[in-house]
Each structure stands twice: as structure tokens, then as C-alpha cells.
Amino acid sequence: MVRGDPGGADRRLTMGLLSAPGLIVSRALTRQVRSTFNDRGQGERPVVPSANALFPRGSVIWRVHGDVTSMMVGGLASLLTQMLHPAALAGVWDHSNARADQLGRLRRTARFIAVTTYGERGAAEAAIAKVRAIHAQVRGTLPDGQSYRADDPRLLAWVHIAGAINFLEGWRRYGDPRMSRADQDRYFAESGEVARLLGANPVPETRCAAEQLVREFRGELRTDQRTRSFRKFVLEAPAASLAEAPVQKLLMSAAVDLLPDFARALHGLRRPLVPVRRATFGMASTLRWAFAAESYRS
């Protein structure tokens, strides 16, 4: 999780809503989000944007990765898309405790993205080195007898591109529907820099190249009992509290709606019938207001 910067319309809206009740609501919202993404018991705090980050302030990747709602929806869609590759699923299934600690995995993934996007360069490089060291130890055999390893450059390319297309689409749907094609290309170029540092190859630098790479992977994707079990684990995970249950259900529905058509079909899922997009857009707007209000106060 990272601090945001209000600007333009957000700043004008914020100035108009900084009444006492508005302050209480904004503080409650930001506190809840931060407690979700940061393990206070382990002393975790939101990542503070650095002037010496891998990417400069104002870069496209800063905009895309700084929106809470679209990143949550995109993250869930990313995970469901990534797991359609048998080797990607095996790495998680055989070598992690993700099924027992979904919140912990969410926090680790969110912190890695925040650190490598906004954090001080040395911290970002250390986080990348740590992940590479973990990947080097993850290897095994698929149910069909094929071997796999987590540091396989092509497998890393799939994990990267399956994430990037969903994060970008989440931002376009709930953050900036009019995002230019040039900025979309720039997002793939910038996010690809981290993928290369992780050892991925090939790494597309434009939307067109990304879509082509996804098409090349289509023949390697499949579903089986493990895929179905993992999908159920993700989409039917119990909420942490009754109060969070409606929000979690909305995010899950939005993630299914965001999935690429081929991924939704492989999972045997249908687009939600309820007006998911309108409700999720409302949530995204509310959280942007809350974080903008906090930044304005500070």
C-alpha cells in the first residue's frame, strides 16, 4: 500500500468534503485499507514514495499501481489468469502456504508491487533479489510428469503478462477509461523493467506485443481438479468479518467480470448479472476521495 497525492479534480472535491463527518469517514476508510495490506503485528507500514525509486514520480506505472480498488480487482483477476498455466499453479500449490494464508499472500504481493514501484531503489532491488532467490529453490514435477521450475524465464513471462494485462484493464475500467494507447504502451514498458530484473523473457513493451504473447501462451493453458480447487479457494474464501463480506463479494464479482474472455471461459465462469461495474466504480471513487483527503490534510 502506498500514500497517494490528490490533484486536480480530486483536490477540488476533497476541499469541498473536508467537513467533520467527512474527515471521520475518510480516516476510517484509509485505516481499514491499511490494516488489510499491512501487517501491523510485524511492524509493516505503508511504503513511502521515494524520489530515488525505479520509476519517476508521475510515471504511468505510478498512476496505475496507486489506485486501491482497481489494483485489488486486477490482482484477483491476475491470480485467476496466472493459475491457468499448470506450472504457475504448481509453484503455488506445491511450494507455498497460500491456501492456508490468503491474506498473507495478498500482503506480500501488494508490498512487492508497492516497493518496486514507489520505494527507494535499494529497497526495490533487495525485494527483487529476495524473490529471485525464492524462485531458484522452487522446482518440481507436474501431474503429467513434466518438470517445472519457478525461475524459468518463459514461465516468469507468463506470470508477468497475466498480471500486467489485468492490472492495466482494472485501471482503465475503474480509474481512467480514456487512457491513451501511448500510456498503455508505456505501462507495459515500465512494468516490464521489473519483470526483466526478475528474469522473465520475453517481455513485451507495448500493448500489441503483450496481446500477441498472450495468444502464444493460450495453447499451454488448461484447467483440472487443482485449478478448480484453487479457483474455489480464491473466489469463495470467507470474509474476515460480516462487515467486510459485501465488499469482498463485490471485489470477487468484479474480478470475474474483468477476466479476459478466454480465462473466464476456461474457468467455466460467467459474467456477473448484477451491476458490478457501477458499484465497483463507486467504491473506487470513494477510496480515491478518502486517500486524497488524507494527503490534503497532511
Mean pLDDT (the chain, rounded): 86
Closest CA to 148 of 75, 88, 102: 88
Q: What is the pLDDT of residue 98?
A: 62
**Is pLDDT larger for residue 290 or for residue 213?**
213
pLDDT score recorded for residue 183: 98
Report the candidate in 225, 249, 256, 237 with the shortest Cα–Cα distance to residue 89: 225
pLDDT at 244: 77
* pTM attached to this predicted model: 0.87
pLDDT digits (tens, 9 = 90+) for 216-229: 999 999 999 999 99
Does the pLDDT at position 79 exceed 70?
yes
The whole-number average pLDDT for the span 2-31 is: 50
Please give the full DSSP string across 59-72, using - where no structure is assigned.
-HHHHHHT-HHHHH
pLDDT mean over 107-112:
88
Residue of 99 and 189 predicted with greater confidence: 189
Asked whether the predicted pLDDT for residue 111 surpasses 80, the reply is: yes
What distance in Å separates the CA atoms of residue 258 and residue 166, rounded to the nearest whole number?
Answer: 7
pLDDT (0 to 100) of residue 27: 58
Pick 164 or 234 by higher pLDDT. Answer: 164
From residue 26, give the alpha-carbon distance in Å to each of 44, 92, 156, 247, 294: 21, 36, 38, 17, 7
pLDDT in tens, 42-61: 777 788 999 999 999 999 99
Among 268, 234, 267, smallest CA distance to 73 is for: 234
The pLDDT value given to residue 24: 46
Q: How confident is the model at residue 268 (pLDDT cuts 50, 70, 90)?
A: very high
More confident residue, 265 or 105: 265
Q: Could you tell me which residue, 112 or 24, shows the higher pLDDT?
A: 112
- Our measurement of the distance from residue 173's CA atom to the centroid of its chain's CA atoms, rounded to an integer in Å, reads 14
pLDDT digits (tens, 9 = 90+) for 141-161: 998 999 999 999 999 999 999
Contact 7, 288 (CB under 8 A): no
Among 297, 291, 287, 286, residue whose Cα is nearest residue 15: 297
pLDDT, position 21: 47
Q: Looking at residue 5, what is its pLDDT?
A: 46
**Residues 205-224: b if buried by 16+ CB within 10 A, e if exposed:** bbbebbeebbeeeeeebebe
With 60 as the cut, is the pLDDT of residue 248 above it?
A: yes
pLDDT digits (tens, 9 = 90+) for 181-196: 999 999 999 999 999 9
pLDDT of residue 298: 40
